[in-house]
A = this chain, B = another copy of it.
Amino acid sequence: MVKLVECVPNFSEGRRKEVIEEIAGTIRGIPGIYFLDAEYDKNHNRSVMTFVGPPEPVMQAAFAAIAKASELIDLTKHEGEHPRIGATDVMPFIPIEDVTMKECVTMAKEVGKAVAEYLHIPVYLYEEAATREDRKNLANIRKGESEGLRADVETNPDRKPDFGEAKLHPTAGATVIGARYPLVAYNVYLDTKDIDIAKKIAKKVRFKDGGLPHVKALGMEIQERGLVQVSMNLTNYEVTPVHVAFEAVKAEAEKFGVRVHSSEIVGLVPMKAIAETAASYLKMESFTVGQVLEKKMAEVMKKGDGKK
């Protein structure tokens, strides 16, 4: 087994393609890194990149990307719809294979320390790496965005960063680094136009209001399809798997006499989440992702082209 960590940094640049390309190129240039995806949004003026690799190369790539973004992005000239406090705004480390959450927390702290020390960008730790309960939630750290934080951080001890001085970097702001579980963006469509039903079901299934652990949910209207949707983020699919979220929404919908129309996973999903869903419905007690042909292939590839 090869240790694998995913990193999904968000950069405050979604318009200048050459800047996005250069940051992506920096990440790709680190040996051992598999660069999976780069998406950017002009309105948000923000890009999200996804890469995977063993812990050491991932830390190197993470540091190099933050350094490159701080060279190329000037937050004092940045505007966009999405809240942000840094050139590299958020950077989570996510355990994928043979790696514990604890190891990802350690990675976040090591990278955070180096970023503060060598790049002079203050770092806040969030989610599983948070050192204070209120910093688990990204929104709390990002309050006031870079403009608000810049003034606040020097006077308010409550906003002191976890690493570095209580003073934002002149152009790169601050960066939030942390560790979290893989997130599955999962939507269930309901055979009704009644948005109230979707909202009530969302409230019922989300953790905040006493529902399923690690589930965030909102009711949404999908006008072009004439349907409503319970839009969910499953923030720990090992605790609340996809099929459990599906069945919960389905059961709640039935109380309103409403049928589930369909569902969708948005973006990438770890194979284990899909395998667990199949295994649950088929009552497979002993199925493992190691039995998936492509998984076996990937393992052989990682060992060096099947030559071992």
Contacts and interface: CB of A to CB of B under 8 A. Distances in A.
Interface of A: 6, 28, 31, 33-37, 51-52, 96, 182, 242-243, 246, 260-265, 267-271, 274-275, 277-278, 281-287, 289, 291-298, 300-302, 305-307
Contact of A291 (B261, B265, B298): B265
A282 B271 contact: no
B268 A285 contact: no
What is the copy number of this chain in the assembly? Answer: 2
A62 B129 CA distance: 51
A45 to B, nearest CB: 26
Nearest to A34: B306
Contacts of A292: 268-271, 274
Contact of A287 (B243, B265, B271, B291): B265
A286 B36 CA distance: 21
A94 to B, nearest CB: 10
B284 A294 contact: no
A296 B260 contact: no
Given A263-B283, A278-B278, A282-B242, A298 B298 contact: yes
Contacts of A283: 260-263
A264 B287 contact: yes
Given A262-B285, A289-B294, 13 more contacts: A35-B300, A243-B281, A246-B282, A263-B283, A264-B284, A264-B285, A264-B287, A265-B284, A265-B291, A270-B294, A271-B292, A274-B275, A278-B281
Contacts of A300: 34-36
7 contacts: A34-B306, A263-B282, A269-B291, A270-B294, A271-B295, A278-B278, A294-B294
A186 to B, nearest CB: 9
A33 B302 CA distance: 13
A283 to B, nearest CB: 5
A284 B263 CA distance: 5
Contacts of A33: 306
A34 B51 CA distance: 23
A263 B285 CA distance: 7
A268 B300 CA distance: 14
Nearest to A246: B282
Given A262-B285, A298-B301, A291 B278 contact: no
A258 to B, nearest CB: 14
**Shortest 8 CB-CB contacts between residues of A and residues of B:** A277-B278, A34-B306, A281-B281, A278-B278, A271-B294, A262-B283, A35-B306, A268-B293
